[in-house]
Amino acid sequence: MLWQSIRLAISTLDKVHPAVADDGPGVERRCELRIGRLARAVGGALEWEERAMLFNVRIWAALAGVAMSGSIAVAQTLPTHRIPAALAAEAASETVSVCAKQGYRETAQVVDADGAIIATLRGEGAGIHSLDSALDKAYTAVSFKSDTLALGERAKEDALVSLAKLPHVMFLGGGMVIKLGDEIIGAIGAAGAPGAKLDDTCARAGLDKIKDRLQ
């Protein structure tokens, strides 16, 4: 490519400045001028050749960087498991039903591993506040990766109680983590019964309804 550029430069100079005779006044001066123009033309060709090579190197470096970052991103991807909506709804229904049989007006909320709601069921006559209470218990369980009844006991003895001031954190029984093996994939929260331990019992009934079918 470089020598093609040089030949093109020489050809152009021959057209603009025809070859000089072998003798005559000013021959040496005209030869010097022609050689100077040729040198500048060759220098320009070399400069453009270097720029093109540098541009190509930068392009390949950028592409290599993109390829490497893509490989790293794939390597860092973590597998996750989700609770099917049908099973979440079944767990919430069982929670409300078990409490209703005992005369309690209950609300149940099921959340995923991020604390986002999958299923909600407010039992007949359950107080409107129970929607927030049940969700806060489920959120707390999945966030702290522990059942809220156990968290409530811990809060009586250590500094954990100070975290109860955080939004949506509730250290009262009724929130239970949902696990697949050792992985926490969600939580269920129950509220409305006259006592945290009663809420806890109803939430456990909902969890037991589906835990053997989680895969």
What digits encode the pLDDT tens for the residues 31-53? Answer: 455 555 655 654 555 565 566 56
Pairing of strands 117-122, 107-112: antiparallel
> pTM here?
0.66
**Cβ–Cβ under 8 Å, residues 124 and 100:** yes
Tokens of 70: 């893509």
Identity of the residue numbered 124:
E
Q: Is the pLDDT at 73 greater than 50, yes or no?
A: yes
pLDDT above 60 (res 16): no
Q: Strands, DSSP E only, in 40-112?
A: 107-112
Task: Give the tokens for residue 56.
Answer: 């190509």
Give the pLDDT of residue 19.
46
Helix axes 2-16, 27-76, angle to 10 degrees: 150
**Within 13 Å of residue 127, how many CA atoms lie on the same side as its CB?**
11
